[in-house]
């Protein structure tokens, strides 16, 4: 009997598919940071503020070392990281800026009323335009932006105490001492 090789096609396709999924998996897992965003200036934007009629632009982010946190009310992990962000803002002396991503402003305000608002201000990004410029995968993501408005670090996923101690704090210390 001659071997009908075409019957192997489904298996080969499946293996390729699995490789892709596995690859996607390893990429996603360690909250890696794509290199090209690092050391690029924070993108230009002009969006409204969550509480006032004020327009927020890139100028508002520049000046101090800032943690820009992309969050949304529909994102369970944002709630998980919220206590740690609150602690960082209160005790570590770091300015926290929120990007409210693909959300409804009323929901966002309610969420903040309930859970507390440690942020200096929030940029309303309902269409996700700023998030696209930032290359956001999904909420939450946190960017370290330096005094010149350059993105220096990017963390995908919730900011836990561990993440703060191991990565964010050292990065911020380094930026603070170098400046």
Which is nearest to 34 in space by CA: 143, 173, 162, 166? 143
Using only C-alpha atoms, what is the Rg of the chain?
A: 20
Neighbours of 172 (CB within 10 A): 22
Q: How far is the CB of 156 from another protein (least distance, A)?
A: 10
Q: How far is the CB of 56 from another protein (least distance, A)?
A: 18
Interface with another protein (CB under 8 A), residue total 39
Between residue 107 and residue 166, which ones bind another protein under the rule CB under 8 A? 107, 110-111, 113-114, 135-138
Alpha helices in the chain (DSSP H): 9-28, 58-61, 76-91, 105-115, 129-134, 161-163, 169-178
Of 26-34, 90-98, 146-154, 168-176, the segment contacting another protein by CB under 8 A is: 26-34
Among 38, 86, 104, 171, binds another protein (CB under 8 A): 104
Binding mask 56-95 for another protein (x = CB under 8 A): -----------------xxxx-------------------
Q: Which is nearer to another protein, 68 or 75 (CB)?
A: 75
| Token pair belonging to 67 | 């943690």
Residue 9: count of CB within 10 angstroms of its CB: 9
Closest C-alpha among 104, 87, 108, 107 to residue 96: 87
The binding site for another protein (CB under 8 A) comprises 1, 3-4, 7-8, 10-11, 14-15, 17-18, 20-25, 27-29, 34-36, 73-76, 104-107, 110-111, 113-114, 135-138
């Amino acid at each position: 009997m001659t071997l009908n090789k075409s019957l192997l096609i489904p298996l080969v396709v499946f293996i390729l598919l699995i490789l892709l999924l596995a690859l996607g998996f390893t990429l996603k897992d360690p909250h890696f940071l794509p290199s090209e965003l690092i050391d690029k200036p924070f993108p230009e934007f002009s969006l409204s503020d969550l509480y006032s009629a004020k327009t927020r632009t890139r100028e508002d982010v520049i000046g101090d070392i800032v943690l820009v946190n992309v969050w949304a009310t529909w994102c369970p992990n944002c709630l998980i990281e919220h206590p740690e962000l609150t602690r960082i803002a209160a005790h570590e002396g770091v300015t926290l800026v929120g990007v409210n991503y693909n959300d409804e402003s009323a929901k966002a305000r309610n969420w903040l009323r309930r859970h507390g608002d440690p942020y200096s201000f929030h940029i309303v990004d309902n269409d996700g335009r700023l998030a696209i410029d930032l290359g956001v995968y999904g909420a939450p993501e946190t960017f370290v932006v330096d005094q010149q408005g350059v993105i220096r670090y990017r963390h995908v996923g919730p900011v836990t105490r561990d993440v703060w101690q191991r990565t964010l704090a050292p990065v911020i210390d380094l930026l603070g001492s170098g400046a």
